[in-house]
Amino acid sequence: MKNSRKNILSALMLTSLFANIILIIVFMISRGIDNLPYYSTVNLTFDLCGLGVSFFLAASVFTDDTNFTKNTKYFMALTFIVSLNIFWDACCWLVDGLPQYAVFNYFNNMVYYLIGYVYSAVFWGYVRFALNRNDTFSVKVSRYCSFFFVFTVVFTVINPLHNLLFYVSEDGYYHRAPAFFLSYIFPVIMNLLSGYLIVVSKVTLRKKIALISFLLFPAIGFGVSSLFYGISVGYPTIMCSIILLYGSLYSEKGYANAIENVEHDYAVDVQNSILKKEFPNEEHFSLYGNINTSASVTGDFYDFVRMDNEHIIFGVGTTSGKGMPASIFMMKALLILRASSASRNISEAITAANNLICEKNGTSMHVNAWLGVINIRTGQMHYINAGSKPPVLIRDRQASYIKSPPNNSLGVRPGIEYTERTVELKRGDIILAYTDGLADIICGAGDAYNEAKLLSILNISNDSARKTCKTVEEEINRYLEKNEAIKDMTTLAFKYHG
């Protein structure tokens, strides 16, 4: 749904920007380029360049951003508002000096003024968001400026009654009125307040320079336009500022993405280095595990340890957190669980492991795990659920959950006593343990991948431990073609041969 809304918005905005360019060119040809005054030709050239830049800039943002953040929306709002003002400025120059279009010229200029006020207000909002300023000062300024904005808009809309800002003479030419400077009061105040906010805020120098460019370039452009009538380069210069901001934001974004990718690769390496890749296939049992790593590694793991000739312990788990911290904590938890697995009493082993994980756990992270100990001679399995999803028992091609009241997660607090449960396995039974990432996949309709769906998939699988994991993986991949997992997904299957 989000991608479809983004695609619709992208198409509408790009179509609008392209249409503006075509309309200006058509109007120029209709009037006759040779008949345009030289200053109109110069300004129209600036305007067309500004519109062209806005089109390609919007196309770049829509292509680069996989998700529309609030920052992106503000950025694109600024780009669109500036492109609209450039368009109306071009319209003003195209009809200036044509008496038959005097009313249209008046309307064009009024729209040009109004959009300028909107730009100043949106830029203030953009600066507040970019600097994360929700303090009392910023809130009060926003409230007071809202009233000032409304007053300025009303004063401009009723300009035909007093002509204090501008007027269009009978010969069709636009003229500034004696109180023209009043139209600059609101934008100047908003820009000064934005500049103050940028200077006093604690952000990177790169971001400050990028935001300040929004003030310096327009100040130069509007200063030239105010002093020399016939030159209107204010909003094309703002487009230059937007280009600088775009380059700064996305170079910073690229650096952040590079760091994130390196961290992701290290986290995956840590995860893979400790997970076993060779799975037993013996007379009495077989095992197979699989892990799908998402964009943000969350510290999933599976493990199995042969305790003696008759017992094997196996299980899955996931740590809270993401990236390298989660992977490091996962490694610590897994090593502790392996060391604790020497005890055949799974309850004592998990209690001891929890106490060790709690020691020096300054990160306040925890582990959700499910562990089972099976006597491969008798098929008796003792298991403990420590905050994890219930595993599935597949018997005679019928899947059902091995329910048990979940205990507390590991690492929450020391001294917790964990209660074990027991189930008797029969020849051909398969146990599928999995992490909660499997249940967190987002389907095309936006519904969660529910437990009933998992059972329906596993009802047809009773061949082998490997086939069980692969069946789930193949089904999940159908969902991942159009969606992405929000967590790692891990499965571990145990088949009892009897």
Write the pLDDT tens digit of every residue in 171-209.
Answer: 888 888 888 888 888 888 887 887 778 777 776 666 666
* Tokens coding 28: 């120029």
Residue with tokens 């911290």: 325
Q: Within this chain, do residues 326 and 428 fall inside the same structural domain, yes or no?
A: yes
- Domain of residue 85 covers 2-260
Say if CB 366 and CB 420 are below 8 A apart. Answer: no
Residue 233 inside a domain? The answer is yes
Tell which residue, 30, 1, 23, 24, has the closest CA to residue 98.
Answer: 30
Q: Within this chain, do residues 487 and 415 fall inside the same structural domain, yes or no?
A: yes
| 280, amino acid identity | P
Q: Within this chain, do residues 301 and 363 fall inside the same structural domain, yes or no?
A: yes
Residue 103 sits at φ, ψ, to 5 deg, of -65, -45
* Tokens coding 44: 């129209």
Give the pLDDT score at 408.
Answer: 80
Residue with tokens 């949106």: 122
* Tokens coding 88: 């109306």
Q: Within this chain, do residues 238 and 300 fall inside the same structural domain, yes or no?
A: no
Decide which of 191, 225, 260 is a domain's last residue.
Answer: 260
CA distances from residue 92 to 150, 220, 306, 330 in whole angstroms, order as listed: 24, 21, 83, 65
Decide which of 214, 235, 260 is a domain's last residue.
Answer: 260
Q: Within this chain, do residues 245 and 294 fall inside the same structural domain, yes or no?
A: no
Q: Identify any residues that bridge with 317 across adjacent strands, giving them in sequence order.
A: 301, 369
Q: Within this chain, do residues 228 and 348 fall inside the same structural domain, yes or no?
A: no
Decide which of 216, 231, 260 is a domain's last residue.
Answer: 260
Residue 268 inside a domain? The answer is no
How many CB atoms neighbour CB 379 within 10 A?
18
CA 487 – CA 388 distance, rounded (Å): 14
- For residue range 339-374, what is the model confidence (pLDDT) as tens digits? 666 666 778 788 888 888 887 676 677 888 888 889
Q: Within this chain, do residues 297 and 363 fall inside the same structural domain, yes or no?
A: yes
Give the pLDDT score at 259.
Answer: 42
CA distances from residue 86 to 16, 112, 260, 287, 452 in whole angstroms, order as listed: 13, 8, 38, 67, 57
Residue 271 inside a domain? The answer is no
Residue 267 inside a domain? The answer is no
Residue 144 inside a domain? The answer is yes
- pLDDT higher than 70, residue 428: yes
For 49-80, the DSSP string reads: HHHHHHHHHHHHHHHH-SS--HHHHHHHHHHH
Of residues 274 and 388, more confidence is placed in 388
Determine the number of helices (DSSP H) and then strands (DSSP E) in the chain.
13, 12
- For residue range 98-121, what is the model confidence (pLDDT) as tens digits? 898 899 989 988 988 898 888 888
Say if CB 334 and CB 327 are below 8 A apart. Answer: no
- pLDDT higher than 70, residue 301: yes
CA 370 – CA 356 distance, rounded (Å): 17
Q: Within this chain, do residues 211 and 309 fall inside the same structural domain, yes or no?
A: no
- pTM to 2 decimals? 0.51
H or E segment to which residue 462 belongs: none
Cα dihedral across residues 170, 173, 179, 184: positive or negative: positive
* Alpha-carbon radius of gyration of the chain: 33
- pLDDT higher than 70, residue 296: no
Q: How many domains does the chain have?
A: 2
Give the pLDDT score at 402.
Answer: 87
Stretch 284-295: mean pLDDT: 80
Q: What is the mean pLDDT of the chain?
A: 75
CA 266 – CA 207 distance, rounded (Å): 29
- pLDDT higher than 60, residue 127: yes
DSSP 8-state assignment for residue 252? H
- For residue range 456-493, what is the model confidence (pLDDT) as tens digits? 777 765 678 888 888 877 777 766 555 554 556 788 88
Give the pLDDT score at 445.
Answer: 39
Say which residues have a Cβ less than 8 Å from residue 459's Cβ, sequence separation at least 6: 394, 397, 398, 399
Of residues 82 and 228, more confidence is placed in 82
For 374-405, the DSSP string reads: EETTT-EEEEEEEB-PPPEEEETTEEEE----
CATH number of the domain that residue 339 is part of: 3.60.40.10
- Exposure string (b/e) for 462-487, b if CB count within 10 Å is 16 or more? beebbebbbbbeebbeebeeeeebeb
Residue 36 inside a domain? The answer is yes
> Among the listed ranges 148-162, 273-287, 429-443, which one has the minimum average pLDDT value?
429-443
Of residues 366 and 333, more confidence is placed in 366
H or E segment to which residue 497 belongs: none
* Tokens coding 375: 């006597």
- pLDDT higher than 80, residue 151: yes
- pLDDT higher than 90, residue 154: yes
Give the pLDDT score at 353.
Answer: 82
Q: Within this chain, do residues 310 and 237 fall inside the same structural domain, yes or no?
A: no
Residue 269 inside a domain? The answer is no
DSSP 8-state assignment for residue 488? -
H or E segment to which residue 473 belongs: helix 465-480
Place 424 in a pLDDT band, splitting at 50, 70 and 90.
very high
Q: Within this chain, do residues 145 and 294 fall inside the same structural domain, yes or no?
A: no
**Percentage of the chain lying above the pLDDT 70 cut:** 69
Give the pLDDT score at 3.
Answer: 56
Task: Please tell me the number of Cα atoms within 13 Å of 63 on its side-chain side.
Answer: 7
Give the pLDDT score at 328.
Answer: 62
Q: Within this chain, do residues 194 and 309 fall inside the same structural domain, yes or no?
A: no
How many CB atoms neighbour CB 342 within 10 A?
11
Q: Within this chain, do residues 292 and 181 fall inside the same structural domain, yes or no?
A: no
Q: Identify any residues that bridge with 375 across adjacent strands, giving them in sequence order.
A: 311
Residue 340 inside a domain? The answer is yes
